[in-house]
Amino acid sequence: SKLGKMLKKFGSEFLRTRFSSILSKRGRSSGTDKLHSALSAIVGEKNAAWSLAAREQHNHDESFHAGGTPENCVWPNSVEEVSEVAKFCSKNHISMIPFGTGTGMEGGVVPQNKTICVNLTNMDRISDLNLEDFDVKVQPGVTRKSLNRELRDTGLWFPVDPGADASICGMAATGASGTNAIRYGTMKQNVLNLEVVLADGTILNTAGPKRRCRKSSAGYNLTDLFVGSEGTLGFITSTTIRLHGIPESTLAAVCSFPTVADAVNTTIQVLQCSIPIARIELLDSFTIDAVNKYSSLENKVAPTLFLEFHGSQKGTEEQVDQVSEIATLNGGSEFSWASTTEERSQLWQARHDCLYALLAQRPGSKCYSTDVCVPVSVLSEAIQYSKDVLDDSGLTAGTVGHVGDGNFHCLIILDPGNEKELLGVKMAADMIAKRAIDLGGTCTGEHGIGIGKKELLKSELGAEGISVMRSIKNTLDPLNLMNPYKVIE
Amino acid sequence: SKLGKMLKKFGSEFLRTRFSSILSKRGRSSGTDKLHSALSAIVGEKNAAWSLAAREQHNHDESFHAGGTPENCVWPNSVEEVSEVAKFCSKNHISMIPFGTGTGMEGGVVPQNKTICVNLTNMDRISDLNLEDFDVKVQPGVTRKSLNRELRDTGLWFPVDPGADASICGMAATGASGTNAIRYGTMKQNVLNLEVVLADGTILNTAGPKRRCRKSSAGYNLTDLFVGSEGTLGFITSTTIRLHGIPESTLAAVCSFPTVADAVNTTIQVLQCSIPIARIELLDSFTIDAVNKYSSLENKVAPTLFLEFHGSQKGTEEQVDQVSEIATLNGGSEFSWASTTEERSQLWQARHDCLYALLAQRPGSKCYSTDVCVPVSVLSEAIQYSKDVLDDSGLTAGTVGHVGDGNFHCLIILDPGNEKELLGVKMAADMIAKRAIDLGGTCTGEHGIGIGKKELLKSELGAEGISVMRSIKNTLDPLNLMNPYKVIE
């Protein structure tokens, strides 16, 4: 097999060098008295911790990536305190990692060297809600669900939905997206302004102190430089975002297809007809089977699209007619409807439960999620290639995808104690990502580079791109203190 | 009057320092033999010019900003030639200005020092058209109209429409938008990848050599750093853009209102109802009157919205019903329809002729266009303030706006030979921009900073923002050779 050959070729060296951060837990040095006192003086005694328990809560995210444990954790209460912490660390050459909800997928918050962790979630203010302009400012402690709860009676919502109840500032840092991106865009399209603390403590408003208008051509786009920078350029201490009107009508349906290609072709044709679909999610038959077992459902075991339509009553009905016509032409089943809010929640719960359903297939297992995104015309090819690689590697995986954007995840189920399996997973994931890059895609549609994809980023961007990114990093963080060893070396 | 006071306060010093670049034509030094020979060796004899006529074609755009005249003009034929020119200039510390169609509005191509001009329009290839993915790659010689002509039979189009038939690469450089942005976004939302030549000749693909997928979280967003950089960070030698499906149905209408506030309130309510309107343009009564006279039309002389609806047959009809209901509630007139393609062209021709109609009011006059953009909730206030400032200054202006985005232009008619009037215009424009910034807006929604708005950029971004922009500029162009003295000092 290809994987067998690669294992033979690179074997243990590959294991040791490329994935050392994943496979070995680095030494956990304890915090020092002096550092703790200095940080306590800034954020207050009760907002600084150096107990192992507190520090170990901040040494991982939802991924497999393991590293060190921070020396100290602090919970600043204001942007000024974040700035003071940064100034102190800058002066003393101490690395800093911003921490939100810890729901990242690529080890973005996992220490790679001696560092402190700055947990920003004490700052949880929602302010400057402008109902006429559809915008609001949120601090890092505000998650998308908590914001949407606050907005409940306003007729507005924030639709970017990566699945996890992530911090909105963290979503900005990661460049997150998810199921609604096809209609409402990713974080990039929804962030209007950021308040950022740079490594040296400078407080920067990326679009100036006040700007929140819908567009601007005023100078370099600093906002989008920080969106997706994964904490390597500074702390995001508040995010001004665009909100959207809750649609008058929401319809959801499920439709199964003979093959993945039929489901993808349906998606392509929906896009070609400019139908403003809100969600179009693919689950392969393996995943459907797992979901059925997990939740005692009776979905047909076949590649399936989960669809959602937002708009006016008439508008959504028209969208449904058009999409069901396209689906039928591609061999799709009748739509199975979720008409009430409860049925709709149940439908999407099934989608969001995929991961747990797959994990339940193999007790004690963990999941590694690939995250490639390709042009939709080559999506079937990329998915088929992924399946071939995973089969070839003897790995078990379900495939789910935000197919309208060309973004899909192979949720690979594995035994985390089995180093050979873990290596196989990483090698398969690399092959899938490299093919995606070759097809005009990206190694990460929404999870970010974090620790594990730095080599892939080089393949994707080329030496010139990496060099420009590095020079920007060096300029804004010359001492390499902000979340070091992430994104680029 | 306020302006009177400001004139008294700042008077001639203001004139001399702030607007020296506008008011004085700098000395036109002639090209040198040696430079010409060196450049000819790179691009070929026939693609280099140092005649005064050729050079004077490249010393202005559509604005008032005047400066020097380039030493030499070159027309490279490939990205490699652009790179060679950059290497040569870098080595010899010669400034470079990228030039496209010369349709900029803020002097972005106007020399501020000894420089050569690199006219990129010989590179005019359209390539990599992907009909299934809705994307295409264009070189700087491709304008939006020429691209849309090429796309005619594909069912696709490129909707970003700043009015002028600008180069798409130039539109990326400026961060242009225009009438369709409310539905299809600005250049920022439509650029997938850029090929850029840096000051030192490095050829960079901002999203890697191949990427053209709809989204990515792979590293820093270099693409959006170059979108809107106005030639100060490098030459944009090709742009990969998103295309859109030509809507099944297009309807256009005109509706007049008792006051500007009524028209703006209609716009706000249309946005609040999430109606996916394609164009919503405001013309004030002064402009309507000018348009009527210019084109022998009989529009009611009142604040008027020009509207366009894109979608399915049913969808556009529903949009029209909703919008006309909202308009009626705000005192709007019956919709006057443009049903055929010809009538629609005529309707929009009237909109695009605004400038000429206003100029015809005062023979021999020229126009200066403001370009602020504000949150829509304060749009009426910003427009009213503008009118007050202009009235107070005794200036004549029509107001037109992409009101759905909160972006409006005061088209100020003036005698370019009258320095006092010109100064009055600039001071009024500054006041309008400063108020917009104070209201959460920007000094430029789509024209860019160029020469004239560098001070305003400081007001808008603050010292920290300017400092970060400058450090990025210094990093990518340490010798300050790329379009110097634009955007930031």
pLDDT per residue over A23-45, tens digit each?
333 333 444 688 999 999 999 99
Tokens of B229: 């950089």
Q: Answer for the pair A116, A59: CB distance below 8 angstroms, yes or no.
A: no
Percentage above 90 pLDDT, chain B: 83
**A57 at B interface, C-beta within 8 A:** no
**B463 at A interface, C-beta within 8 A:** no
- For residue A236, the distance in angstroms to the closest alpha carbon of chain B comes to 15
State the Cα–Cα distance between residues B214 and B196, nearest whole angstrom: 20
pLDDT at position A7 is 45
State the Cα–Cα distance between residues A2 and A8, nearest whole angstrom: 10
Sequence-distant (6+) residues with CB within 8 A of A36 are: A48, A50, A72
State the Cα–Cα distance between residues B387 and B397, nearest whole angstrom: 8
B444: chain A residues, CB-CB within 8 Å: 216-218
Tokens of A267: 């998606």
pLDDT at position B343 is 87
With an 8 Å Cβ cutoff, are B219 and A247 in contact?
no
Highest mean pLDDT: which range of A5-14, A16-25, B260-269: B260-269
**B381 at A interface, C-beta within 8 A:** no
State the Cα–Cα distance between residues B347 and B341, nearest whole angstrom: 10
Report how many Cβ contacts below 8 Å link chain A to chain B. 297
With an 8 Å Cβ cutoff, are B406 and A213 in contact?
yes
**A222 at B interface, C-beta within 8 A:** yes
- For residue A165, the distance in angstroms to the closest alpha carbon of chain B comes to 19
State mean pLDDT over B372-386. Answer: 97
For chain A positions 312-351, those within 8 Å of chain B (CB to CB) are: 312, 314-315, 318, 322
The mean pLDDT value of chain A amounts to 92
Which among A188, A209, A217 is the nearest to B445, CB-wise?
A: A217
With an 8 Å Cβ cutoff, are A406 and B213 in contact?
yes
Number of H helices, E strands in chain A: 18, 18
B225: chain A residues, CB-CB within 8 Å: 220-221, 224-225
pLDDT at position B28 is 36
With an 8 Å Cβ cutoff, are B217 and A176 in contact?
yes
Architecture of domain B1-24+362-448: 2-Layer Sandwich (3.30)
Query: What amino acid is encoded at B129 in this protein?
Result: L
Domain ranges of chain B: 1-24+362-448, 25-119, 126-245, 249-352
A476: chain B residues, CB-CB within 8 Å: 468, 471
With an 8 Å Cβ cutoff, are A274 and B244 in contact?
yes
Sheet holding A366-369, edge to edge: A336-338, A249-256, A304-311, A279-283, A396-402, A407-414, A366-369
- Domain B1-24+362-448 and domain B249-352 have a common topology: yes
State the Cα–Cα distance between residues B321 and B319, nearest whole angstrom: 5
With an 8 Å Cβ cutoff, are B208 and A469 in contact?
no
A325: chain B residues, CB-CB within 8 Å: none
State the Cα–Cα distance between residues B413 and B422, nearest whole angstrom: 10
Architecture of domain A249-356: 2-Layer Sandwich (3.30)
State mean pLDDT over A54-76. Answer: 93
With an 8 Å Cβ cutoff, are B460 and A208 in contact?
yes
State the Cα–Cα distance between residues A348 and A345, nearest whole angstrom: 5
Q: Answer for the pair A423, A383: CB distance below 8 angstroms, yes or no.
A: no
With an 8 Å Cβ cutoff, are B221 and A228 in contact?
yes
> Cα-flanking dihedrals φ and ψ of residue A271, to 5°?
-65, -40
With an 8 Å Cβ cutoff, are A212 and B188 in contact?
no
Tokens of B46: 């026939």
**A186 at B interface, C-beta within 8 A:** yes
Per-residue pLDDT band for A351 (boundaries 50, 70, 90) equals: confident
pLDDT, tens only, A108-159: 999 999 999 999 999 999 999 999 999 999 999 999 999 999 999 999 999 9
Which among B130, B312, B487 is the nearest to A377, CB-wise?
A: B130
CATH number for the domain formed by residue range(s) A126-245: 3.30.465.10
State the Cα–Cα distance between residues B486 and B67, nearest whole angstrom: 12
Per-residue pLDDT band for A61 (boundaries 50, 70, 90) equals: very high
Sequence-distant (6+) residues with CB within 8 A of B69 are: B28, B29, B52, B55, B56, B58, B59, B111
**B304 at A interface, C-beta within 8 A:** no
Selected for mutation to probe chain A from B171, B217, B402, B459 (highest A CB count within 10 Å) is B217
State the Cα–Cα distance between residues A142 and A101, nearest whole angstrom: 10
Cα torsion for B8, B12, B13, B19, to the nearest 10°? 110
CATH number for the domain formed by residue range(s) A24-119: 3.30.43.10
Tokens of A22: 């994943």
Asked if pLDDT for residue B434 goes beyond 50, the answer is yes
With an 8 Å Cβ cutoff, are B245 and A471 in contact?
no
DSSP labels, B403-432: GGGTEEEEEEEE-TT-HHHHHHHHHHHHHH
Which among A176, A374, A475 is the nearest to B213, CB-wise?
A: A374
User: How far from B287 is each of B63, B360, B429, CA to CA, in Å?
Assistant: 20, 11, 18
Q: Report which secondary-structure segment, H or E, holds A116.
A: strand A115-119
- For residue B277, the distance in angstroms to the closest alpha carbon of chain A comes to 13
With an 8 Å Cβ cutoff, are A205 and B474 in contact?
no
Collapsing DSSP to helix, strand or coil, A27 comes out as coil
Domain B25-119, classified CATH 1.25.40.10, yes or no: no
State the Cα–Cα distance between residues B55 and A277, nearest whole angstrom: 51
User: How far from B16 is each of A254, B13, B368, B416, CA to CA, in Å?
Assistant: 69, 5, 19, 17
Per-residue pLDDT band for A50 (boundaries 50, 70, 90) equals: confident
**B221 at A interface, C-beta within 8 A:** yes
Q: Which of A22-26, A353-357, A396-400 has the lowest mean pLDDT?
A: A22-26
Identify which has the larger pLDDT, B29 or B248.
B248
**A298 at B interface, C-beta within 8 A:** no
B216: chain A residues, CB-CB within 8 Å: 175, 373, 442, 444-445
Q: Answer for the pair A97, A111: CB distance below 8 angstroms, yes or no.
A: yes
Comparing alpha-carbon positions, the chain B residue that sits nearest to A245 is B274
A202: chain B residues, CB-CB within 8 Å: 464, 467
Q: Which of A465-474, B6-15, B239-248 has the lowest mean pLDDT?
A: B6-15
Asked if pLDDT for residue B309 goes beyond 60, the answer is yes
pLDDT at position B398 is 97
Selected for mutation to probe chain A from B214, B379, B380 (highest A CB count within 10 Å) is B214
Per-residue pLDDT band for B5 (boundaries 50, 70, 90) equals: low
State the Cα–Cα distance between residues B215 and B193, nearest whole angstrom: 11
State the Cα–Cα distance between residues B453 and B372, nearest whole angstrom: 11
A234: chain B residues, CB-CB within 8 Å: none
CATH number for the domain formed by residue range(s) B249-352: 3.30.70.2190
DSSP labels, B186-240: -HHHHEEEEEEE-TTS-EEETTTTT---S---SSS-HHHHHTT-TTSS-EEEEEE
Sequence-distant (6+) residues with CB within 8 A of B354 are: B283, B287, B290, B291, B398, B400, B411
**How do beta strands A249-256 and A304-311 pair?**
antiparallel
**Is the complex ipTM higher than 0.90?**
yes
pLDDT, tens only, B398-421: 999 999 999 999 999 999 889 899
**How do beta strands A115-119 and A72-74 pair?**
parallel
Asked if pLDDT for residue B3 goes beyond 60, the answer is no
With an 8 Å Cβ cutoff, are B224 and A219 in contact?
no
State the Cα–Cα distance between residues B64 and B429, nearest whole angstrom: 13
B441: chain A residues, CB-CB within 8 Å: 211, 213
State mean pLDDT over B335-353. Answer: 86
Q: Answer for the pair B117, B111: CB distance below 8 angstroms, yes or no.
A: yes
Tokens of B361: 């009011």
pLDDT, tens only, A92-121: 999 999 999 999 999 999 999 999 999 999
**Straight-line distance from the first to the last Cα atom of chain A, in angstroms, rounded to the nearest whole number:** 32
**B175 at A interface, C-beta within 8 A:** yes
B211: chain A residues, CB-CB within 8 Å: 437, 440-442, 460
- For residue A76, the distance in angstroms to the closest alpha carbon of chain B comes to 22
A457: chain B residues, CB-CB within 8 Å: 218-219
Comparing alpha-carbon positions, the chain B residue that sits nearest to A233 is B220
Collapsing DSSP to helix, strand or coil, A118 comes out as strand
With an 8 Å Cβ cutoff, are A318 and B315 in contact?
yes
pLDDT at position A25 is 35
Per-residue pLDDT band for B381 (boundaries 50, 70, 90) equals: very high
State the Cα–Cα distance between residues B296 and B292, nearest whole angstrom: 5
Query: What amino acid is encoded at B60 in this protein?
Result: H
A244: chain B residues, CB-CB within 8 Å: 274
State the Cα–Cα distance between residues A458 and B333, nearest whole angstrom: 59
Which among A133, A216, A448 is the nearest to B376, CB-wise?
A: A133
- For residue A78, the distance in angstroms to the closest alpha carbon of chain B comes to 19
With an 8 Å Cβ cutoff, are A202 and B488 in contact?
no
Residue from A393, A279, A427, A263 nearest A344 by CA: A279
pLDDT at position A417 is 86
Residue B252 CB: number of other CB atoms within 10 A?
26
**Straight-line distance from the first to the last Cα atom of chain B, in angstroms, rounded to the nearest whole number:** 32
Asked if pLDDT for residue B24 goes beyond 80, the answer is no
**B220 at A interface, C-beta within 8 A:** yes
With an 8 Å Cβ cutoff, are A219 and B487 in contact?
yes
pLDDT, tens only, A203-250: 999 999 999 999 999 999 999 999 999 999 999 999 999 999 999 999
**A233 at B interface, C-beta within 8 A:** yes
For chain B positions 77-136, those within 8 Å of chain A (CB to CB) are: 130, 132-135
With an 8 Å Cβ cutoff, are B443 and A186 in contact?
no
> Cα-flanking dihedrals φ and ψ of residue B381, to 5°?
-60, -45
Sequence-distant (6+) residues with CB within 8 A of B53 are: none
Alpha helices by DSSP H, B102-217? 144-150, 168-174, 181-184, 187-190
For residue B456, with 0-12 CB atoms within 10 Å meaning exposed, 13-18 middle and 19 or more buried, which class applies?
buried
